[in-house]
Amino acid sequence: MREDRGFSRNRHFLALSSPEGRRAVRIARHLRSIERDLESGWPARAEPREGRVLVTVAYRSGTRAAWLTGAEYRMLLSNPAARNALEVNEERAGSG
């Protein structure tokens, strides 16, 4: 769903209307929002905490904090711009 920009929600209505499908759509939107922020060039960092990863983006007028699971963080790192913004080397990217 994340890679296919032409993904049709109408075509996959039944699959996406289930609780799991709605959750997948919500996670995909959340990750896309974080990717847009990271691509904008704001200072960002990621730090593992309590079994999850805290991604922090510092804006001029405030800060965004997003808690991600390990799987969500690995999906975020599949975007080269996000990986660059978080200054993740190949070694750390696999351990997320």
Full 3-state SS string of the chain: CCCCCCCCCCCCHHHHCCHHHHHHHHHHHHHHHHHHHHHCCCCEEEEEECCEEEEEEECCCCEEEEEECHHHHHHHHCCHHHHHHCCCCHHHHHHC
Integer CA distances (angstroms), 91 to 8, 21, 50, 65, 96, in order? 35, 32, 21, 24, 9
**Overall average pLDDT of the 68-81 stretch:** 94
Q: What is the pTM of this model?
A: 0.71
66 domain residue, yes or no = yes
79 domain residue, yes or no = yes
- Domain with 20 in it: 13-95
Report the number of distinct structural domains present in the chain. 1
1 domain residue, yes or no = no
8 domain residue, yes or no = no
pLDDT tens per residue across span 14-43: 666 777 777 877 888 899 999 999 999 889
